[in-house]
């Protein structure tokens, strides 16, 4: 490590640039680092490292990355990228997906080519809208995906907006209870000082979405994510998680300004996707980590899953019971329910049924738009 | 001002230790920067690792007031910043009724400082002699609307009250925010803050903490408790015991004047395990096994 003050500053600036290339810190922070450096530079190398860390990091992940970077830049050879973050920006595929290598592979159904050879794909005009809303996501030909996407954005936004208005209205306080107000204010000689209300303020309604992104859900995952994104964009009170073998909080992802940004963010955290499903385990980790905050007497929990579970149903039942007890409504949307002749006989699904308030399909746009009707919160 | 109490990072470490708080160098550096740069410090970490305590010890070292804003879901501006004392206002109006006072006069009177109830945020910027320490505890529990508002206050250290005008801090507070990571905080807030992550302490550090906090404890008992807690933390519990629990258990055993064996562990388990599920899990694992490791 250089010791001359001038060199030191230069080294810090260089380090900041390298840090930024790896996704640590943002625009203003080089100046902040230099400022911090001036304050601690007499206290030794360790203090400088600590100071830079305080300024540049803003999460546990950053914290861990910083250690690697610092070691690399200050003790190793010339800096290169440590994490793959921010490389190859904006290479979105034809229908607005994230980086080709990851997301597209996750979602585009490899069997899509078979679907393309379906005889009834060439439809146009008003009947197209009708047909697209009604066709099972898994069966929509690749050529129509872009159209479906535009349509779904429009329709989902409309519904989400209505739902968000319902969620907001609950913040109102009840009307003034005149009788109790007067009675209470006899204390003050009949002067109306304290108002009594008929209803206490209700807890805010919340929507919790739990999305299954495991292998078996593959054809549907993209659309269900889009559904979650549309809801989140219109209503702050929506929390969303994805799960397969473990649970990931994607609220931050859905806050992204555009769908493609959201997808890019998502592609950076694609651990544990696209494998078997542990619904019970995932719900357990949801209950433990977020249950206390998100489950209230005015929240609706929506699980989007086909119910294929690789574990024994005991833990699933257990966790569902907890959710059911702590929330107002438990909705399970199952894409398979759209298939003619489907019966929820998988072990997990049939064990889950007694705890579910609404069990509905989620295989096409039309069925997703029905959510509005199912919701009892607000 | 602050330079006198905290001349250097080493002095900070030393000072906090005499107050029973063991601060490692990186946290001390972060707090030193907070004082020197006047930037808020966001401390994240699991429950019970001493996030809140850091703010308390800073206030104590600086010899200044600690103002605490505990965040919760639904916390609104009225309970965080200020509120008019409506009852007092109504009474004042009533009292003035007979005396032909100018309406404008009356208004100025009842919307004066006498009728203002200061809540933590307003209080933190209206200090006139010394900068207080403002602790915004569990910011992740407040909703996003409040977080945005807080951002504004932390940026300018001023608050506008429509009836009174803008109040700007003569002595801006030192701000420490804590978070359990219940939700992702906004980028804007993170960018404005220095950051520190407190992990569960190593065996040595935790021993250090136990000794600093409970000077009377024997080395053997301390080591027993700390290693018991370390093996508990390795299990997948829903509420992982923090340092606070270590101290509770140590205190309990000192009061009982017992060493930690299977029997006393069973009796005092309530100090460290806080849920029925966890208790079953610990019993399944076997207390004697946990104690032995």
> Helix or strand or coil: residue A253?
helix
What is the mean pLDDT of the segment spanning A117-139?
Answer: 57
DSSP-H helix ranges across chain A: 5-21, 29-40, 45-56, 60-75, 105-107, 112-116, 126-134, 142-169, 178-185, 218-234, 251-254, 259-267, 279-286, 292-294, 313-326, 347-352, 365-369, 371-374
What's the whole-number mean pLDDT along residues B229-251? 90
Would an 8 Å CB–CB cutoff place B77 in contact with chain A?
Answer: no
Lowest mean per-residue pLDDT among A235-244, B37-46, B172-181, B254-263 = A235-244
The confidence band for A122, taking pLDDT boundaries of 50, 70 and 90, is very low
Query: Taking CB atoms and an 8 Å cutoff, what residues of chain B touch A204?
Result: 73-74
What are the DSSP E strand ranges found in B149-284?
A: 158-161, 165-168, 174-179, 194-198
Find where tokens 């005149």 sit: A178
b/e sequence A56-72, b meaning 16+ C-beta within 10 Å: bbbbeebbebbeebbeb
B182 touches chain A (CB under 8 A): yes
SS3 A359: strand
Please give the residue that has the higher pLDDT: either A281 or A108. A281
Q: Which two tokens stand for residue B129?
A: 């002699």
Of chain B, the end-to-end C-alpha distance in Å amounts to 49
How many residues are there in chain B?
293
Tell me the average pLDDT of chain A. Answer: 73
Nearest CA in chain A to B141: A293
For chain A, give every domain's residue range.
Answer: 5-75, 174-202, 206-374
| Set of chain B residues whose Cβ sits within 8 Å of the Cβ of A26 | 187, 191
Give the containing element (helix H, strand E) for A124: none
CA distance B221 to chain A (A): 32
Task: Write down the pLDDT at residue A81.
Answer: 46
pLDDT of residue A168: 56
Closest CA to B225 of B256, B251, B246, B248: B246
What is the C-alpha separation between A107 and A97, in angstroms, rounded? Answer: 9
Sequential DSSP letters for A79-103: ---SS-TT-STT-B-TTS-SBIIII
CATH 3.10.620.30 matches A206-374: no
The most confident of the ranges A272-276, B61-65, B102-106, B190-194 is B61-65
For residue A287, the distance in angstroms to the closest alpha carbon of chain B comes to 10
Going through chain A in order, the beta strands assigned E by DSSP cover 206-212, 238-243, 247-249, 299-304, 329-334, 358-361
In this predicted model, what pLDDT tens digit does every residue of B211-235 receive, in sequence order? Answer: 999 988 888 899 999 999 999 998 8
Instruction: Summarize pLDDT for B256-266 with one digit per residue, the tens.
Output: 888 888 889 99
Distance in angstroms (rounded) separating the CA atoms of residues B56 and A115: 64
Residues forming beta bridges with residue A206, ordered by sequence position = A299
3-state secondary structure of A332: strand
Residue B59: per-residue pLDDT: 94
Short-list A145, A139, A134, A149, CA closest to A119: A139
Q: Compute the mean pLDDT over every residue in chain B, rounded to the nearest whole number.
A: 88
According to the model, what pLDDT value does residue A3 have?
52
pLDDT of residue A116 exceeding 60: no
Give the model confidence (pLDDT) of B129-156 as tens digits.
889 999 999 998 887 788 888 888 888 8
Pick the closest to residue A332 from A302, A362, A371 (CA basis).
Answer: A302
Q: Mean pLDDT, to the nearest integer, of A176-201?
A: 69
Compute the nearest-CA separation of A265 from chain B (Å). 14
Bigger pLDDT: A172 vs A326: A326
Top pLDDT among A178 and A264 is at A264
Q: Minimal CA–CA distance to B71: which of B143, B176, B134?
A: B143
User: A120 or B173: which carries more pLDDT confidence?
Assistant: B173
Tell me the chain B residues in contact with residue A36 when contact means C-beta distances shorter than 8 Å: 33, 37
pLDDT tops 80 at residue B60: yes
pLDDT at A111: 44
Which pLDDT tens digit goes with each residue over A17-59? Answer: 888 887 777 656 788 888 888 888 887 888 888 998 988 888 8
pLDDT category of residue B165 using cuts at 50, 70 and 90: confident
Which of B6, B30, B33, B54 is the best mutation test for A, with the most CBs of A within 10 A? B33
**Exposure string over B1-40, b if 16+ CB within 10 A, otherwise e:** ebeebbeebeebbebbeeeebbbebbbbbbbbbbbbbebb
What pLDDT is recorded for position A121? 40
Nearest by Cα to A11 from A98, A70, A80, A97:
A70
Model confidence at A368: pLDDT above 70: yes
Contact yes or no for A53 and B91 at CB 8 A: no
Residues of A in contact with B86 (CB under 8 A): 193
pLDDT of residue A105: 43
As given in the structure block, the two tokens for residue B154 are: 């932390």
Look-up of token digits 């803003």:
A58
Residue B241's pLDDT is: 93
* A39–chain B nearest CA distance, Å: 7
Could you tell me the two tokens for A142? 């690749």
> What are A60-89's pLDDT values in tens digits?
888 888 888 888 877 655 444 444 443 333
Interface residue B73 vs chain A (CB under 8 A): yes
Residues in Cβ contact with A110 at an 8 Å cutoff, skipping those fewer than 6 apart: none
The C-alpha atoms of residue A191 and residue A210 are separated, in whole angstroms, by 52
- Whether A39 sits inside 8 A of B36 (CB atoms) is yes
pLDDT at A117 over 70: no
Question: Residue A152 pLDDT > 80, yes or no?
Answer: no
Q: What is the pLDDT of residue B196?
A: 94
Distance CA A111, CA A300 (A): 34
A58 contacts B37? CB cut-off 8 A: no
CA angle B128, B131, B133 (to 5 degrees): 135
């Amino acid at each position: 490590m250089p010791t001359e003050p001038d060199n030191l500053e230069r080294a810090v600036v260089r380090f900041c640039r390298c840090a930024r290339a790896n996704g640590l810190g943002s625009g203003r922070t080089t100046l902040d680092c230099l400022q911090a450096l001036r304050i601690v530079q007499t206290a030794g190398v360790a203090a400088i490292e600590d100071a830079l860390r305080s300024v540049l990091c803003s999460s546990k992940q950053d914290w861990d990355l910083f250690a690697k970077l610092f070691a690399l830049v200050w003790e190793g050879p010339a800096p290169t990228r440590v994490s793959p973050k921010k490389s190859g920006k904006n290479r979105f595929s034809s229908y607005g997906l994230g980086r080709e290598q990851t997301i597209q592979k996750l979602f585009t159904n490899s069997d899509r080519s078979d679907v393309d050879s379906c005889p009834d794909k060439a439809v146009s005009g008003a009947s197209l809208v009708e047909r697209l809303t009604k066709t099972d996501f898994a069966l929509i030909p690749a050529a129509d995906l872009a159209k479906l996407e535009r349509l779904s954005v429009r329709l989902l936004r409309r519904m989400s907006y209505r739902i968000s208005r319902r969620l907001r209205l609950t913040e109102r306080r009840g009307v003034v209870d005149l009788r109790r107000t007067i009675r209470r204010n006899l204390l003050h000689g009949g002067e109306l000082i304290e108002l009594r209300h008929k209803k206490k303020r209700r807890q805010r309604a919340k929507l919790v979405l739990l999305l299954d992104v495991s292998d078996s859900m593959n054809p549907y995952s993209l659309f269900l994510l889009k559904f979650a994104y549309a809801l989140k964009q219109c209503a702050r009170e929506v929390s969303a998680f994805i799960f397969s073998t473990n649970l990931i909080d994607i609220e931050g992802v859905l806050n992204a300004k555009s769908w493609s940004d959201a997808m890019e963010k998502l592609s950076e955290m694609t651990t544990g996707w696209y494998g078997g499903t542990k619904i019970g385990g995932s719900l357990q980790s949801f209950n433990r980590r977020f249950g206390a905050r998100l489950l209230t007497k005015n929240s609706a929990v929506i699980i989007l899953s086909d119910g294929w579970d690789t574990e024994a149903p005991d833990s699933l039942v257990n966790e569902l019971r907890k959710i059911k007890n702590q929330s107002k409504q438990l909705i399970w949307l199952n894409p398979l329910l759209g298939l003619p002749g489907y019966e929820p006989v998988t072990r997990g699904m049939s064990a889950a049924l007694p705890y579910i308030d609404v069990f509905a399909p989620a295989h096409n746009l039309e069925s997703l738009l029905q959510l509005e009707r199912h919701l009892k919160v607000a | 001002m602050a330079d006198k109490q905290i001349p250097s990072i080493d002095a900070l470490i030393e000072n906090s230790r005499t107050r029973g708080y063991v601060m490692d160098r990186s946290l001390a550096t972060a707090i030193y920067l907070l004082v020197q740069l006047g930037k808020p410090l966001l401390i994240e970490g699991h429950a019970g690792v001493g996030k809140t305590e850091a703010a308390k010890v800073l206030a104590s070292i600086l010899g200044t007031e600690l103002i605490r804003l505990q965040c919760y879901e639904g916390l609104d501006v009225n309970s965080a910043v200020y509120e008019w004392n409506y009852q007092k206002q109504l009474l004042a109006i009533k009292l003035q009724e007979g005396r032909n006072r100018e309406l404008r006069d009356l208004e100025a009177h009842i919307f004066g400082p006498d009728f203002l109830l200061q809540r933590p945020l307003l209080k933190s910027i209206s200090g006139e002699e010394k900068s207080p320490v403002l602790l915004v505890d569990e910011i992740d529990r407040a909703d996003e609307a409040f977080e945005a508002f807080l951002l504004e206050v932390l940026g300018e250290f001023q608050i506008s009250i429509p009836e009174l005008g803008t109040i700007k801090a003569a002595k801006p507070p030192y701000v420490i925010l804590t978070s359990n990571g219940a939700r992702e905080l906004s980028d804007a807030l993170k960018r404005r803050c220095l950051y520190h992550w407190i992990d569960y302490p190593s065996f040595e550090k935790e021993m250090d903490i136990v000794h600093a906090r409970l000077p009377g404890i024997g080395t053997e008992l301390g080591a027993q408790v700390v290693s018991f807690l370390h093996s508990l933390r390795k299990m997948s519990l829903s509420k992982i015991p923090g340092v606070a629990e270590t101290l509770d258990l140590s205190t309990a055993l000192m009061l009982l004047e017992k060493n930690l064996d299977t029997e006393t562990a069973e009796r005092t388990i309530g100090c460290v395990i806080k849920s029925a599920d966890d208790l079953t899990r610990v019993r399944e694992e076997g207390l004697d096994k946990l104690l032995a490791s």
